[in-house]
Structure 1
Amino acid sequence: MSTLTEYAQIGRTYSQQLGAIAKEGFVQREVDYFRANISKISTGDELIDDYRLYTFAMKAFGLESQTYAKGLMRKVFDEGVVNDRSIANRLQDSAFKEIAEAFGFAETGNLNMLIHKNVDAVVEKYLKLELEERIGESNQGVRLAIYFERKIAEVDNWYEIIGDAALYETVRTMMGLPQEFVSTNIDRQVEYFENRIPLEDLKDPKKLDKWMQRFTAMWDVVQGPQSGIDLAANGIAPIQPLGSAPAIVSIDPSLLADLSKYRL
């Protein structure tokens, strides 16, 4: 099954899949534990000392790989986000700022987690991350597309996209940019993207859907077997960096019918 087709299927059943995950034994136990105990926590130290709450929170904000970095996370929670020089505001990954804002220990103690909608928001993030991880086990391209759809509304500029590895990989893939583009000066990269995709287009649901269709088709082109067919002749031409020569990109013939539908 092509990534384009699988992505469309996931879109139609996303809510049902999310609900099914929430009912699974382990997931339900972790959610229940978080709901029952997070209101008792008023500092970063207390959160970190409760392993189940801490790992739940880190996963919810996409920081599971940083769970070991307890010293860093103490500073993130203790300094908060009010001061522009706080570590959460200076780290490239915006997830650190998001987790500091969500719990708000530096600013409000445990008040944020006494509000049910705030707790619900963290739980929803956890469930969505769990679903995305499972989707990624079978197709990383679909996972990237779903992540992009979820995160792009929070993005204010192209520097933030470039600073998020998953968002950056998605836009580079949808535009047919080679790995060498990564070494281009970051200001020139931003200029390149701004001239080709208005950020507001990625926040418009209809336009975003078209770009995600393009990405999922291009993902299979990049990841799939070599077949020597010119992508440009089949409706989705890669957009090359400034000064580079046009390229021939191979494509699996099984994708041609889908690709021809999405001329952007």
Structure 2
Amino acid sequence: MTFTPAIPLGGYLGWRVFENSADRQFEAFKNTPEVTRNIEYFTENVKNALTAEDLVKDRKLLTVALGAYGLQDEIDKAAFVRKVLEEGTDDPSSFANRLNDTKWKAFAKDFGYGNLGGTRVLISSFREQVATDYMQQAFEARVGDVNTDMRLAMNFRREIATIAENPNVDRVGWYSIMGDTPLRTVLEGAFGLPASIGTADIDQQKELFEQKASQLFGGKSPAVFKDPAVVEDALRRFFVFSELENGPTASTPGSAALTLLSGQSASSQAQNLFLSLVS
């Protein structure tokens, strides 16, 4: 039976409700036949994939391997995936290092096929970590099938911590965020910025992100997201802004009343609501 996450409400209130049951739902998801089969097959057979070709030609293995890095939608690009893996990341000019999506670099580096140290598939702890990451990413994908904003929020909470803890966060943190579409989407929403700012000069974008972070969260470095309270505040702003942009859903409290508003009056009411919730 297909697993469908229980998300009865949208918006920030729905996020808070979902948070209370997310761990229980994740445990239920992990025990579904599809996930169990995929994990068992991967952990038993990936140690035999000693070359990139071995991994790529086995679709079951590749499903878990790509899924662990949020790259599951790329599974049909066999030649592309093989090139990423075989060139590795030791060479700064390698294929993975030249791609905008940093997930490919992590994928190639971790599996190690093209690097000096060789592949890590014989290391049990690595196989277990890939399996764990696959389950988390797959669960988030199912959540996204029901509510895209919820998936973005889960991804943000997980990934922003890695960036915030990076020793080079002050130098590369904002560039990492701006180059990651899901993270960027959440923070553009939290900052009340239009997606069109992506057309500006990259250093100007960085300055704007720094200004907004300093204004709203008390520091211009992404290191501010080490604080769970700041992460939660960013998510609250993101959800409120998303509802402001897209309008209330049927599950939004008061949505029936809000839909009666029209024209400039509706816009003013929505703006006032947004300001009251994020101030």
TM-score by length of 1: 0.84
Contact 2:191 2:212 in 1 (8 A): no
Q: Extract unaligned runs of 5+ from structure 1.
A: 238-258
Query: What amino acid sits opposite 2:267 in the alignment?
Result: G
What is the CA–CA distance in structure 2 between the aligned matches of 1:4 and 1:211, rounded to whole Å? Answer: 11
- Matching of residues 217-228 of structure 1 within 5 Å: 217-225=240-248, 227-228=266-267
Hey, what does 1:205 align to over in structure 2? 228
1:196-253 Cα shifts (integer Å, max 9, x gaps): 213011232121111111111221111115732345544x54xxxxxxxxxxxxxxxx
What is the CA–CA distance in structure 2 between the aligned matches of 1:25 and 1:75, rounded to whole Å? Answer: 32
Greater CA deviation, 156-165 or 218-227? 218-227
Q: Is residue 187 of structure 2 the alignment partner of residue 171 of structure 1?
A: yes
Q: Is residue 92 of structure 2 the alignment partner of residue 84 of structure 1?
A: yes
Query: What amino acid sits opposite 1:193 in the alignment?
Result: F
Q: Is residue 72 of structure 2 the alignment partner of residue 64 of structure 1?
A: yes
Contact 2:52 2:113 in 1 (8 A): yes
Contact 1:43 1:77 in 2 (8 A): no
The number of residues matched between the two structures is 239
Question: What SS is found at the alignment partner of 2:34?
Answer: helix
1:69-109 Cα shifts (integer Å, max 9, x gaps): 22222221112111211111111101111111221122333
Hey, what does 1:189 align to over in structure 2? 205
Query: What amino acid sits opposite 1:167 in the alignment?
Result: L
- Give aligned-pair identity as a percent: 29
- Matching of residues 26-175 of structure 1 within 5 Å: 26-107=34-115, 108-110=117-119, 112-155=120-163, 156=169, 157-175=173-191
Counterpart pick for 2:268 among 218, 229, 245: 229
What is the CA–CA distance in structure 1 between the aligned matches of 2:137 and 2:204, rounded to whole Å? Answer: 32
What is the CA–CA distance in structure 2 between the aligned matches of 1:216 and 1:81, rounded to whole Å? Answer: 36
Question: What SS is found at the alignment partner of 2:101?
Answer: coil
TM superposition shift of 1:142: 1.0
TM superposition shift of 1:58: 1.2
Question: What SS is found at the alignment partner of 1:214?
Answer: helix
Greater CA deviation, 133-142 or 22-31? 133-142
TM-score by length of 2: 0.79
Contact 1:3 1:139 in 2 (8 A): no
Contact 1:43 1:106 in 2 (8 A): no
What is the CA–CA distance in structure 1 between the aligned matches of 2:138 and 2:13, rounded to whole Å? Answer: 21
Question: What SS is found at the alignment partner of 1:228?
Answer: helix
What is the CA–CA distance in structure 2 between the aligned matches of 1:34 and 1:96, rounded to whole Å? Answer: 20
